[in-house]
Amino acid sequence: MSMRNRNRREFILGMGVVITNVAASPLLLADASRINSRIDADFPAAEGGPYSPMTSQAGTGESDSRKAAVRGKMRGLMVDAGRVPETMEYYKRVIDFCADWELNTLQFRLADDQGSAMRFSSVPDLVTHGNAFTPLQLKGVAQYARSHGVDLIPELESFGHTGYITRSPVYAHLLDRDPAGSSEFTGIIPVDPESLQLFEKLYREVAEIFPSIYLHGGCDEVNWGGSMLSRKALQSKTRAQIWAEYLNALNQISAGLGKQFIVWADIILHKEPAILGQLNKSIIVMDWNYEDNSSATFRKAFQKVSANGSRGIGAPGLSCYKWGARVGTEQLRNIDAYADAYLEVNDPNSLGVIMTNWIPSRYVQNSIWDGFAYAAVAFNEGTAIAQTSGFRRFVEKHYRADWNEMWDEVFQMIYDAAPYMKDRDRASWMGLTLPVPWSNDEQLASLLKDPSPRPNPFIRIRSLLVQLEPLVLKNFADFQAFELCVEYLDKMFWREAVVVEQAAKKSLDREGTDLLIRTIAERDQDLAAALTKDWDSGRFPDSAAKLEPVFDLQPKDQLLFQWKRATGYSASLASHPDRFYQLMQAARPA
C-alpha cells in the first residue's frame, strides 16, 4: 500500500516514537509503507546525461517552448548576509550551485537591523558586522558570479530594517517609529533630507562594486511616522504620498547610477495599496507572501502590478519566520505557487522568481541544498515535475546516489514533520510545534507541566539515513550536514520526551534521575561539539550569531548558540544532580 494513498500523519504518529528509556535504539519499521518510487518514469533524461538539471519531457513542443520562455526570466536564490555573514567560499559555492542547476540570479542582502555585511568607506560609522566584507572582496564575488552566468543583485535596506544605520549613535536621530505601529519594526525618517543624502553615498558605493543592472532597496516591514519631522509632514500629506515620494526619490538616485530599482511589495501592494499608483513605473515590485500557497492569489497580485504599468518579481520562501532547522511541506507549495504565477504567465512585466532564504543561523549550513534544488526544478521545468521528481533529481545529481524508496520516505517525512513556530496559528502538517531546547529552570519546569506524549519522527529518518549513507558518492560532507540537522531535531525532541516521561513515573528513582541528567548532558555536549565543528568549517568561528544573542533575532533563530546554552545548563544540572531531582520532584502532581 503506497504512502500516497494513506494518511501520512497517522503513519508517522503511529510509529511509537516516544522514547521510553535513555538509551533508546532507532526504530526500524520493517513493515513501513513505501512511497511510490516510479519517479521520472514519464520524464526521460534530456541531452546531457542523467545528471542534467533540465531533464523534463525533452522533445515535446510544450516543454521546449516553456524552457525558452523561462530562460528569459530571473530564476534565482537569495543569501542573507545582512543578518549573518557567511564566508566568501560558501557564497561562491552557492553561485556554483546556481550555475549547475541553471539558476541565473543570486540576490545578496548586504545589511539589516543586525548590521552591515559591507564595510562602507563613504559612511564609516554604520553598525557593521565583525566579519563584514571589504569592497574588494564583494567585487571579487560579483565578478565570480558573472563569470558563471549568475547575476549578483545587491540589496541594501533603505526604509525598514535600517538598524545598521539608526542603531549607530551617529545616526540615531534618523530613527523613526510609530508607537501605534508594530513593535517588531522601525524605519528611517523618510522626510529628513539627510536620509536621502546618506543613501546617495551608500548606493554609489554599491553600484561601483556590483555590475548588475539592478539594485534592490528593500523597503518592507516598515514602522514609521512617530518622529517629529514625520508627524509634521503627515499634517499636509497622506502616508501613501510620503511613501511614494520617498521611494521615487530612492529610485531617482538608483537610476542616476544606471540601476533599475527593486522594492519589496508587502506594504505598497498589500497593506497600503494606494502607494502603488503613485510610484514611478520603472520601479520593480518584488512580492513575498509566506502565508498563502495559492498561485491564483499570487497571480492576481502580479496582475495588479502589471496593470499599473510596473514590473514584478515573485519571491517565495524557503527558510522564513515560521521555521527552524527545517521547513515544512507548505513551503514547497509556496515555491510552486509563485513559480506557477510568475513563470507560467505570458506577460513581459513578469521578470521571474527569486526564492528567499532568511537568517542562516537557523539551520545547519549545508543541510538545505535539497530545498534549493527543488526550487531550481520548479523554476526551470515546472512544478508538476518538481513535485514528482525534484528530490530524486537532487539525490542523483548532488549526492550521485541511486534513488530508492528510502530516499523517497526521507524527503516525505523530513518536510511533513518539520516543526512549526509555536506562536503561529498552525503547527506543522504533523502537528509538531517548534521547541527551543530547554536551558534554564523556568523552561524545564514549564515543559514538565505538560505530560502529553512527544512524537519524534526524526528517529525513523535518522535510521533511514544510516542505511542510505553508503550510496552517497558525491558531496558527502553535505550529506553529513543533512544527517547532523536530523540528529539535532531528534535530540531536541528526545530530551523533552525523556524528562517528561521520567517525571510522570509513579515514583521518582533518585539513581535513575541522576543517570538521566548525566546522559542528557553527555549527549548535549556531543551534539554541541558536532554543531560547532560544522559551523566553523563553513562560517566564521567568531561570528556573533554563534557566540551571543544577536539583536532582534529570536532564540529559534540561533540554533547553535541556543544548543550551547542548553548544553551548559544540562552540564550544570549533571554536576548538581540533587537540583535536577528537586526540579523533577516539584513538577509532579500533588
480-501 pLDDT, tens digit per residue, is 999 999 999 999 999 999 999 9
Would you call 109 exposed, middle or buried from its count of C-beta atoms within 10 A (0-12, 13-18, 19+)? Answer: buried
More confident residue, 65 or 243: 243
Picking from 144, 121, 160, 165, the residue whose alpha carbon sits closest to that of residue 210 is 144
Q: Report how far residue 503's alpha carbon sits from residue 41's, in angstroms, rounded to the nearest whole number.
A: 51
Determine the pLDDT at residue 432. Answer: 85
Q: Are 320 and 451 members of one domain?
A: no
Q: Are 412 and 363 members of one domain?
A: no
Q: Are 415 and 351 members of one domain?
A: no
Let me know: does 16 contact 497? Beta carbons within 8 Å: no
Residues 6+ positions from 69 with CB-CB distance below 8 Å: 343, 346
pLDDT digits (tens, 9 = 90+) for 77-123: 999 999 999 999 999 999 999 999 999 999 999 999 999 999 999 99
Residues 6+ positions from 168 with CB-CB distance below 8 Å: 125, 126, 127
Structural domain span for residue 317:
72-367
Q: Is residue 39 part of a domain?
A: no
Determine the pLDDT at residue 19. Answer: 32
Q: Is residue 346 part of a domain?
A: yes
- As given in the structure block, the three cell numbers for residue 451 are 505530560
- As given in the structure block, the three cell numbers for residue 547 are 557566540
- What phi and psi, each to the nearest 5 degrees, are found at residue 314? -85, 145
Q: Report how far residue 481's alpha carbon sits from residue 112's, in angstroms, rounded to the nearest whole number.
A: 27
Q: Are 121 and 270 members of one domain?
A: yes
Q: Are 131 and 234 members of one domain?
A: yes
User: Where do we find the cell 565583525?
Assistant: 130
Q: Is residue 164 part of a domain?
A: yes
Q: Is residue 428 part of a domain?
A: yes
Determine the pLDDT at residue 427. Answer: 45
Residue 164 pLDDT exceeds 80:
yes
DSSP structure class, residue 270: I
Q: Are 121 and 196 members of one domain?
A: yes
Give the β-pairing of 111-112 and 115-118: antiparallel
State whether residue 86 is helix, strand or coil. Answer: coil
Q: Is residue 418 part of a domain?
A: yes
CATH of the domain at 114: 3.20.20.80
Once rounded to an integer, what is the mean pLDDT over residues 390-404?
98
Determine the pLDDT at residue 431. Answer: 65
Residues 6+ positions from 554 with CB-CB distance below 8 Å: none
Picking from 252, 142, 261, 134, the residue whose alpha carbon sits closest to that of residue 200 is 252
Q: Are 195 and 294 members of one domain?
A: yes
Determine the pLDDT at residue 61. Answer: 53
Domain boundary among 302, 335, 367: 367
Determine the pLDDT at residue 34. Answer: 25
Once rounded to an integer, what is the mean pLDDT over residues 329-358?
96
Sheet strands (E) in 101-217: 105-109, 111-112, 115-118, 128-133, 151-155, 175-176, 187-188, 214-216
Determine the pLDDT at residue 506. Answer: 80
pLDDT digits (tens, 9 = 90+) for 24-74: 222 222 222 222 332 233 323 333 322 233 333 334 455 667 777 788 999
Q: Report how far residue 50's alpha carbon sits from residue 398's, in angstroms, rounded to the nearest whole number.
A: 12
Q: Are 312 and 454 members of one domain?
A: no
Picking from 374, 367, 553, 560, the residue whose alpha carbon sits closest to that of residue 475 is 367
For the chain, give the percent of residues with pLDDT over 90. 80
Let me know: does 586 contact 445? Beta carbons within 8 Å: yes
Q: Report how far residue 188's alpha carbon sits from residue 175's, in angstroms, rounded to the nearest whole number.
A: 5
Domain boundary among 347, 367, 387: 367
Determine the pLDDT at residue 292. Answer: 92
**CB neighbours (10 Å) of residue 31?**
4
pLDDT digits (tens, 9 = 90+) for 534-576: 999 999 999 999 999 999 999 999 999 999 999 999 999 999 9
Q: Is residue 176 part of a domain?
A: yes
pLDDT digits (tens, 9 = 90+) for 217-233: 999 999 999 999 999 99
User: Where do we find the cell 494513506?
Assistant: 6
Would you call 292 exposed, middle or buried from its count of C-beta atoms within 10 A (0-12, 13-18, 19+)? Answer: middle
Q: Is residue 58 part of a domain?
A: no
Q: Per-residue DSSP letters for 339-364?
A: HHHHHSS--TTEEEEEEB---GGGS-
Q: Per-residue DSSP letters for 295-331?
A: HHHHHHHHHHHHHTT-EEEEE-BSS-TTBSSS--HHH
Q: Report how far residue 221's alpha carbon sits from residue 163's, in angstroms, rounded to the nearest whole number.
A: 12
Determine the pLDDT at residue 12. Answer: 42
Q: Kindly state the helix (H) or strand (E) to which residue 579 belongs, with its residue range.
A: helix 577-586
555-574 burial: b if 16+ Cβ within 10 Å, else e: ebbbbbbbbbbbbbbbbebb
Let me know: does 521 contact 574? Beta carbons within 8 Å: yes
Mean pLDDT, the chain, rounded, equals 89
Q: Which residues pair with 188 in a beta bridge?
A: 175
Picking from 194, 285, 213, the residue whose alpha carbon sits closest to that of residue 244 is 285
Domain boundary among 318, 336, 367: 367
Total domains in the chain come to: 2
Q: Is residue 363 part of a domain?
A: yes
Let me know: does 239 contact 287? Beta carbons within 8 Å: no
Q: Are 222 and 141 members of one domain?
A: yes
> By mean pLDDT, which of 39-43, 295-299, 325-329, 567-571 is the weakest?
39-43
Confidence of residue 22 (pLDDT cuts 50, 70, 90): very low
Residue 426 pLDDT exceeds 60:
no
Residues 6+ positions from 511 with CB-CB distance below 8 Å: none
Confidence of residue 424 (pLDDT cuts 50, 70, 90): very low
Picking from 196, 229, 221, the residue whose alpha carbon sits closest to that of residue 290 is 221
Q: Are 244 and 95 members of one domain?
A: yes
Residue 322 pLDDT exceeds 50:
yes
Once rounded to an integer, what is the mean pLDDT over residues 124-135?
97
pLDDT digits (tens, 9 = 90+) for 181-216: 888 899 999 999 999 999 999 999 999 999 999 999
Q: Report how far residue 245's alpha carbon sits from residue 227's, in angstroms, rounded to the nearest whole number.
A: 17
Q: Are 360 and 288 members of one domain?
A: yes
Let me know: does 380 contact 70? Beta carbons within 8 Å: yes
Q: Are 451 and 582 members of one domain?
A: yes
**CB neighbours (10 Å) of residue 280?**
16
